[in-house]
């Protein structure tokens, strides 16, 4: 017989959102158990580019949108946590870059230049040139304008490991999840691989897995949408570190490039942006690689990609259903009895998602209720990003 577990909050899904929430709850005195059916870091989190957006890329049409304002404070909160003196102590998480950059080639100047230089953008954007340009752009062939954004880029694998460490003994590897009901059919927790876990509240933060979890619990709301991406992965000796949005004529980031290191020390360019969206999703793997090669040869002809290895990665981003399948502006949370279901909608909004959960459980009177020490639980293993596997 497995021992019955009682905890304040039971979380299902150990991507960055679930792990961040778990750490916040524990820091505020709640007992928690965090269940993961696959790997720590999940699929969507571990394969994100690690950019902590401040909303600039959502304001490139010259106006601030709901998306740009909702996310504006996230870089500050992440920086404080990474310094060890924020809402979480993430000291030791590897920072890939202190800034992300925005490159506006000469063909996309005009009104955008005026907007980026406006008072509204001060503190978010600074133009750079000369020796202050990213090293990959320091070429006599370079043209256009480059802006330094007040955004950081984090190494997601090291972030996941730090957040997992903050989970203490509360991580649980579990495959089969079903509702745990009282005699009057009241939900009191979950049964995970035959283990009864009682909880004051249950949070579902399992990304693409939420639909199946809801079905297992006899629910069909909230409805999830999937927005697919077809990312490009390039690995080669001619690559140099680059963290950049490159704009197209539509004032939308056409290419978003981040740089990562494999465990063998090889540099990888991970390429998303508009190229990975609608048209990119429809392309075959080889067509997507060919498109990326042509784009890079045109934009960065001084970078030697002749010995580069190429692959692609398809990712479905799980989100709450929106009219017209548009991108959600904010983190999302829905309440149904003891169950709270949500998505952060993007990596940078993990703190916002945790805020929403904390507000919800505190507003309905849930308070920390110290429980017995947890038994020794089977632990999930860590995810590896795609460039370590392909």
Cα(353)–Cα(23) distance, integer angstroms: 13
pLDDT in tens, 253-265: 899 999 999 999 9
The answer to whether residues 201 and 334 belong to one domain is yes
* Predicted pLDDT of residue 56: 80
Q: Taking 70 as the threshold, does the pLDDT of residue 251 lie above it?
A: no
> For residue 282, is it within any domain?
yes
Residue 108 belongs to what H/E stretch? none
Domain housing 276: 75-86+97-153+226-318
In this prediction, residue 313 carries a pLDDT of: 98
Helix axis angle, 350-363 relative to 16-27, nearest 10°? 50
- Written as one string, the DSSP assignment of 214-250 is HHHTT---SPEEEEEEEEEEEE-TT-----EEEE-TT
Q: How confident is the model at residue 327 (pLDDT cuts 50, 70, 90)?
A: confident
Average pLDDT over residues 286-305: 96
Residue 65 placed within a domain:
no
- Asked if residues 244 and 297 have their Cβ atoms less than 8 Å apart, the reply is no
pLDDT of residue 65: 64
Are 147 and 230 found together in one domain? Answer: yes
Read off the tokens for 29.
């005195």
- Indicate if 141 and 169 belong to the same structural domain: no
| Predicted local distance difference test score (pLDDT) of residue 184 | 87
Task: Identify the residue whose tokens are 């017995």.
Answer: 372
Contact (Cβ atoms closer than 8 angstroms) between residue 82 and residue 163: no
- Total structural domains within the chain: 2
Here the CATH number for the domain that contains residue 113 is 3.30.9.10
Residue 197 lies in a domain: yes
d(CA 141, CA 4): 67
Q: What is the mean pLDDT of the chain?
A: 91
Across the range 203-220, mean pLDDT stands at 95
- pLDDT-derived band at 113 (thresholds 50, 70, 90) equals low
Confidence of residue 102 (pLDDT cuts 50, 70, 90): very high
From 97, 52, 44, select the one nearest 78 (Cα to Cα): 52
Q: Has residue 157 got a pLDDT over 80?
A: yes
> The CATH number of the domain where 352 resides is what?
3.50.50.60
- Same domain? For 183 and 297 the reply is no
**228 bridge partner residues:** 316
Give the per-residue pLDDT at 71. 87
Q: Which of 84-98, 198-212, 311-325 has the lowest mean pLDDT?
A: 311-325
pLDDT digits (tens, 9 = 90+) for 18-69: 999 999 999 999 999 999 999 999 999 999 999 999 888 776 666 566 666 6
Residue percentage of the chain with pLDDT more than 70: 91
Give the residue-averaged pLDDT of 258-278: 95
Instruction: Kindly write down the DSSP assignment for every residue of 350-367, as one continuous string.
Output: HHHHHHHHHHHHHHTT--
């Amino acid at each position: 017989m497995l021992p019955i577990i009682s905890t304040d909050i039971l979380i299902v899904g150990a991507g960055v959102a679930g792990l961040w929430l778990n750490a916040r709850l524990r820091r505020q005195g709640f007992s928690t158990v965090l269940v993961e059916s696959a790997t720590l870091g999940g699929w969507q989190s571990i394969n994100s580019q690690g950019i902590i957006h401040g909303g600039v890329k959502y304001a490139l049409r010259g106006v601030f949108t709901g998306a740009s304002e909702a996310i504006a404070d996230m870089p500050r909160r992440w920086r404080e946590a990474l310094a060890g003196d924020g809402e979480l102590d993430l000291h030791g998480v590897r920072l890939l870059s202190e800034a992300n950059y925005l490159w506006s080639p000469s063909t996309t100047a005009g009104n955008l230049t005026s907007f980026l230089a406006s008072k509204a953008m001060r503190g978010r954007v600074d133009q750079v040139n000369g020796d202050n340009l990213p090293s990959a752009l320091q070429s006599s062939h370079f043209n256009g304008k480059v802006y330094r954004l007040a955004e950081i880029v984090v190494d997601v694998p090291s972030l996941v490991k730090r957040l997992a460490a903050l989970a203490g003994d509360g991580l649980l590897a579990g495959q089969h999840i079903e509702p745990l009901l009282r005699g009057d059919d009241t939900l009191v927790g979950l049964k995970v691989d035959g283990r009864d876990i009682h909880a004051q509240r249950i949070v579902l933060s399992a990304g693409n897995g939420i639909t199946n979890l809801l079905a297992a619990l006899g629910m069909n709301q909230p409805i999830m949408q999937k927005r697919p991406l077809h990312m490009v992965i390039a690995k080669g000796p001619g690559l140099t570190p680059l963290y950049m949005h490159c704009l197209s004529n539509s004032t939308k980031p056409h290419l978003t490039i981040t740089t990562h290191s494999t465990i063998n020390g090889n540099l990888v360019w991970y390429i998303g942006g508009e190229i990975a969206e609608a048209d990119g999703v429809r392309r075959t793997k080889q067509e997507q690689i060919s498109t990326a090669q042509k784009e890079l040869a045109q934009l960065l002809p001084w970078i030697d990609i002749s010995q580069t290895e190429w692959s692609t990665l398809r990712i479905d981003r799980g989100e709450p259903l929106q009219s017209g399948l548009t991108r959600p502006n904010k983190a999302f949370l829905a309440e149904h009895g003891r169950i709270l279901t949500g998505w952060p909608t993007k990596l940078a909004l993990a703190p916002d998602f945790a805020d929403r959960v904390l507000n919800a459980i505190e507003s309905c009177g849930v308070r920390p209720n110290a429980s017995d020490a947890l038994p020794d639980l089977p632990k999930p293993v860590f995810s590896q990003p795609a460039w370590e596997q392909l």
